[in-house]
Structure 1
C-alpha cells in the first residue's frame, strides 16, 4: 500500500507540476504575444515614419528639381526681358536728347534746353533768332507703348497749367565784405 500511496503522491505531484507547467506556458505564450504585438506595432510605426519621411524627402527633392527646371527655363526669359527693357529705357533717354534735332520738332533746336527730370526740355521759343522769347514751353517726351505721365510729371503739368510759375533772380557775391554789409542790411 505504501507503493500505491507513493504512486498516488507521485501522480498528484505530476498533475500539480503539469498544471503549473500549463499555467506558466500560458503566461509565457501571453507574454510572448504581448512582446510580439508591441514589436509589431513599433515596427509598423517605424515603417510608417520611414515611409512618411521618405515621401517628404522625395516630395522635397521633386519640388527642388521642378523649381530648378523652372528657374533655368525662366532665367533666359527674365534676362531677355531685362535686356529689352534696358534697351527701351536707353533708347528713350537718347530720343529725349535728340528730339530737338528731328525734322518734325516745332521749335528751333537752339532754343531747347535738356533737363531730363521732372520735364525733359524747356524751350525758350525765339531766343536764338531775335533774343526775344515768345514763349517758354515745357516739353515732356514719351516713347514706347506706356506713354503715361508719372505722378511727379503730372504734378509739374498741373502747376504750369494753373499758372503757378515764377521768375526771380538770386544775387550771390563771393566778396566777403559785400556779404557782411548785406547781412547787416546796409547794401
Structure 2
C-alpha cells in the first residue's frame, strides 16, 4: 500500500511542478507579447510626435509667409493702389485704401476721384473669415457711413 501512496504523492507533485512550469512559460510568452506591443506603441508615438512637429513648423511657416505678404503687399505688382493711399489695419481687414487721396492731396485729382476700398491680403489657400465675409456683405449692401466724433476736453 505504501507504494500506492508514494505513486499518488509523486503524481500529485508531478502535476504541480508541470503546472508551475507551464504557467511560467505562458507568463513569459505573455510578457514578451506585451513588451513587443509596448515597443510598437512607443514607435507609433515617436512617429506621431515627428509628424506633429512637422505640421507645426509648416503651419508656422505659412502664418509667417501670410504676415509678410500682408505687410509687403503695397510694394508688390499685384497691389493696384498707391502705397501712400493704403493704411494698414491688420484686423479685421488688412488695409483701408483711400484710392485717389494722394493725387487729390497733391492737387492732381478731384474729391470725386477718391474711393474707399477695404482690402484683405490672402496667400496660398487662405479664405476670408466669417467676420470678413460679413464685412464684405455690409459694404456691398451699402451699410457704410462716415462719422465725425467731437471731443471737448474742457467739459466736466
Unaligned runs of 5+ in 1: 1-21, 181-187
Q: Secondary structure at the match of 1:83?
A: helix
| 1:130-155 deviations in Å (ceiling 9; x for gaps) | 143621111111101x2322222222
Q: Secondary structure at the match of 2:93?
A: coil
What is the alpha-carbon distance in structure 1 between the residues aligned to residue 149 and residue 87 of structure 2?
A: 20
| 1:60-84 deviations in Å (ceiling 9; x for gaps) | 3223322333444454444343323
Aligned residues: 150
Match of 2:149 in 1: 170
What is the alpha-carbon distance in structure 2 between the residues aligned to residue 82 and residue 137 of structure 1?
A: 34
Q: Secondary structure at the match of 1:124?
A: strand
Match of 1:59 in 2: 33
TM-score by length of 2: 0.72
TM-score by length of 1: 0.62
What is the alpha-carbon distance in structure 1 between the residues aligned to residue 153 and residue 25 of structure 2?
A: 84
Highest relative contact order (Cα 8 Å, sep 6+), 1 or 2? 2
- Check 1:77–1:38 CA distance in 2 against 1; reply closer, same or farther (3 A cut): closer
Q: Segments of 4+ in structure 1 off by > 6 A? A: none
Q: Whose radius of gyration is greater, 1 or 2? A: 1
What is the alpha-carbon distance in structure 2 between the residues aligned to residue 84 and residue 170 of structure 1?
A: 45
Match of 2:65 in 1: 91
Out of 119, 122, 130, the residue aligned to residue 142 of structure 1 is 122
Confirm whether residue 39 of structure 1 aligns to residue 13 of structure 2. no
| 1:100-119 mapped onto 2 (5 Å cutoff) | 100-119=74-93
- Check 1:57–1:29 CA distance in 2 against 1; reply closer, same or farther (3 A cut): closer
Task: Let me know the Cα RMSD of the aligned residues.
Answer: 3.1
